Structure 1
Amino acid sequence: MQVSVENVDKLERKLTVKFPAERLETQVASRIAEMGRTVRLKGFRPGKVPVTVIRQRFGAQVRGEVLSDLIGSTLREAVEQEKLRPIANPAVDTTGAPENGEIAYTATFEVMPEFPEIDVANLEVTRQKAEVSDADIDKMIETLRLQRRHFDEVERVSQEGDFVLFDYAATTSEARFQAEGLERGGSVLGSGNLFKEMDEALTGHAAGDSFKASISFPENFRNAELAGKSADVEFVIVKVQQQVLPEVDAEFIQLFGIADGDLETFRKEVRGNLERELKAALLARLKSSVAESLANAYEIDVPKAMVASEAREMALQSVPRGQEPAPELIEQATVFAHKRVQAGLLIGEIARKQQLTLDRARVAEQLAAIASTYEEPERVIEVYNSDPQLMSGLQSRVMEDQVAEWVADHAKTSEVTLSFDEIMRPAGS
């Protein structure tokens, strides 16, 4: 077998491999002979199908399969021989036809970059800390009550927390919307579903009230014809309903799987859930701090394919499920994707150099935490255990967590104590 390597780009390699055509012909003949003992064809007894017939019927298929197998095995040999570390499956090009007694193919792929010596001792990392308080538990229980509230119609004027059903039409300097009649809307006042001015206009009115108000619609208002414009709005209140929250009694508690309806058991369950969420959020923030510090400290070449894949994944998070992101959205994500891939490669190199091994107990713990959010946890665990790709992704995340903690233990790490709400609040909010 002959192997040559061409550096196409900083990380792109073109591997040319040649092997004797005799290897292909020998294996094709062997596989066809093996088929002769097992193949069943109409008009022939089992095991008595002539080789010429098998070659005529299946020769092209067998040749393709054997060629694919040979390319796979020789490529692995060539990559190992040249000490290359491909980051993805290569693009292979070949005619498959012998030339001068040899079959040649090319394999083009990107390789792992060269890494500098990574010394984390001088990295500045922030480790955030927080605890779940009784007030956090109270707040979560209130949220659970809100999720199970119902609304009763009332004859009084509306106030914050009420659901108001209303008809309206808005007239700007350009036109009236609706052009004819009224549009119906509804919202819980103070919930954030409507903007502040609309909430204020709807507050203090009872069912049957008709009135007008001057309102400035926000730039992001869902109706593009009103967004960013001032309008005179006419309203008709259809009905007002007050929210009714369930009591935190045994019946309410039993909705959450606490069979005896005991309040203390319920609070412990809520605390446990919040602590699991908090632990995951703190670890995510630590990992982000470590990744940013590493990416800023060590500049490395990053495989284009990995950046493109990461940018697409980031863009997908901004579009509805099943929809492809626009090219400009992917382009916008590319800078951030580059940083993320760079940090991920550095984290992987630290794991390799420090010989950090995957903590199987943590994998099981993470899997149990994921499964606990579904109605059939056992089924989720079964799916992960039977899907190598899902399990590999989970294991990679756990290893990244372990590396982040290792770096934080060996870097210049400062600790910052925050509240549960501050940790759980989305970035930028």
Structure 2
Amino acid sequence: MLLEFVVEVPAEQVRSEVEKAYTVLQRTARVRGYRPGKAPRNILSHLYGGRVHADVAQRLVDATLNKALAEQSVQPLSQPAIAPAELRPDASFSYKARFEVRPEISGVKWEGFEVKRPSVKASDEMVDAEIAGLRRKHATLQSPDPERPAKVGDVATITFKLEIGGEFLDQKEQEVETELGSGHLFKEIDEALIGMNAGEHKDVRLTFPAQHQNPELRSKEGVFHVTLKDLRERIYPEVDDEFAKDCGEESLEALRASQRAKVEKELTQKASDAVAEQLVMEICKANPIPVPPSLVDQQAQLAERELLAAARRQGQRLDSNADLRARVRLDSEMKVRAGLLMAEIAKEKEVKVTEADIEKGYEELAEQSGKNVAKVKAEYRDPKKRELLIGMILEDKILDMIEAAAKITDAA
């Protein structure tokens, strides 16, 4: 919601600021034909009048805007856009201030939403997948005996040199260890390695993608001169009581039980998140209030940075293209709308965040991050971070209220 109002500064205050400005200017100005500090006012006005008036206008805005906002009882969400009138030294000065404010919200609909909770029961297949992950973690690597060609799942050590336009990019061979079929190599190289024997060489021709992280290689053709230096296969342990003991359990039965509990804990959290997402969508649909573009911009920028950072941490490349930005903005608009609606519910129902709530928040953050509570508290001494935490806790409390008033059906 855009708001605009006019601020008028009395002529006396304008004259005072103009006089101060010329007094300072007279002491510092260097005017040909006059000693420092002796140039007449009319000369200074002729030479520097435009700059002085602009500076005085800005100082008057800085000195009066916050007071005017307080008198109007408004809190801008965006930096006010100022449109000043022409400043005249002997007259009052006025300017327009235009900015976004929170939309007025009343009568938020938040009760009786119908949503579905996903199943939290762990299937045998899910438990088997966890056991398979543990087998992989406890597997050993050894050279195939007897020797054989490379296949998917093998761990290969390769050396290569890249040739672009008939010239090697680097005269020194590069060495890489990778699991075949994992997708960590270019598809053309991965496919070429399948069926090769240790010690064999191959030339692999490919075209680099247009969005390659190295701008110098984008859309260029290259030849990888590849050597399969070493090949190893994973030897997986048998799934029995001994394996369970290696995993910290007394028996295979106990291991499966612990993995089932682990899966169901994860499913419970995912189900809770899914219910919360559905409730957020429902409250936004039931209350289609306008949202301030500046808040959406801020949320979208933050969300995009987080997505790109998460991709980098996982060794992936995520391009910030128009499609990604459109999806992020749509999601950000919903989050901002939900935040405004939940803030209004908190106001109407007088929901507060207590010190006990904050302490619980510290404990949950410590559990999630693996840090001790004292370290988490130290990190959240920063007022902005503490305010962010309080906002998250308040939203959780409002979501709990909305969930308690919703009709939730459990999936079969």
Could you state the TM-score of these two structures normalised by the residue count of structure 1? 0.59
SS at match of 1:293: helix
Q: For 1:233-257, what per-residue CA distance to the aligned partner results, in whole angstroms no more than 9, with x for missing partners?
A: 986422112346799688976xxxx
Pair 1:352 & 2:341 matched = no
8 Å CA contact 2:118, 2:274 repeated in 1: yes
CA gap 1:373/1:116 in 2 versus in 1, 3 angstroms: closer
8 Å CA contact 1:290, 1:407 repeated in 2: yes
Residues 218-367 of structure 1 correspond to what in structure 2 (within 5 A)?
Answer: 225=219, 236-243=227-234, 278=267, 280-319=269-308, 330=325, 333-358=328-353, 361-367=356-362
C-alpha distance in 2 between matches for 1:167 and 1:351: 61
Give, as a single letter, the amino acid of the residue that structure 2 aligns with 1:340.
K
8 Å CA contact 2:14, 2:92 repeated in 1: no
Instruction: Tell me which of 168, 175, 191 is aligned to 2:182.
Output: 191
C-alpha distance in 2 between matches for 1:318 and 1:357: 31
Instruction: Tell me which of 158, 174, 179 is aligned to 1:166.
Output: 158
Q: Select between 243-252 and 114-123 the one with higher mean Cα deviation.
A: 243-252
Q: For 1:93-118, what per-residue CA distance to the aligned partner results, in whole angstroms no more than 9, with x for missing partners?
A: 779x9978978665432111133533
Aligned pair count? 353
CA gap 1:297/1:15 in 2 versus in 1, 3 angstroms: same
Q: Select between 266-275 and 306-315 the one with higher mean Cα deviation.
A: 266-275
C-alpha distance in 2 between matches for 1:275 and 1:103: 68
Give, as a single letter, the amino acid of the residue that structure 1 aligns with 2:292.
P
SS at match of 2:380: helix
Instruction: Tell me which of 85, 94, 100 is aligned to 1:110.
Output: 100
**Equivalent residue, structure 2, for 1:79:** 72
Residues 371-382 of structure 1 correspond to what in structure 2 (within 5 A)?
Answer: 371-374=366-369, 376-378=371-373, 380-382=375-377
Residues 349-428 of structure 1 correspond to what in structure 2 (within 5 A)?
Answer: 349-358=344-353, 361-374=356-369, 376-378=371-373, 380-416=375-411
| 1:413 CA displacement | 3.1
The unaligned stretches of length 5 or more in structure 2 are: 16-55, 313-317
| 1:406 CA displacement | 2.0
- What percent of counterpart residues are identical? 21
Give, as a single letter, the amino acid of the residue that structure 2 aligns with 1:382.
K
| 1:278 CA displacement | 4.9
C-alpha distance in 2 between matches for 1:132 and 1:337: 33
C-alpha distance in 2 between matches for 1:71 and 1:389: 26
Give, as a single letter, the amino acid of the residue that structure 2 aligns with 1:127.
R
SS at match of 1:285: helix
CA gap 1:12/1:272 in 2 versus in 1, 3 angstroms: farther
8 Å CA contact 2:2, 2:100 repeated in 1: yes
C-alpha distance in 1 between matches for 2:400 and 2:99: 33
| 1:306 CA displacement | 0.9
CA gap 1:349/1:277 in 2 versus in 1, 3 angstroms: farther
| 1:13 CA displacement | 1.2
C-alpha distance in 2 between matches for 1:271 and 1:76: 58
Give, as a single letter, the amino acid of the residue that structure 2 aligns with 1:124.
E
C-alpha distance in 2 between matches for 1:286 and 1:338: 19
C-alpha distance in 1 between matches for 2:294 and 2:195: 58
Residues 116-135 of structure 1 correspond to what in structure 2 (within 5 A)?
Answer: 117-121=107-111, 123-131=113-121
8 Å CA contact 1:129, 1:282 repeated in 2: yes
C-alpha distance in 2 between matches for 1:152 and 1:77: 74
CA gap 1:384/1:186 in 2 versus in 1, 3 angstroms: closer
The unaligned stretches of length 5 or more in structure 1 are: 1-10, 26-62, 254-260, 418-429
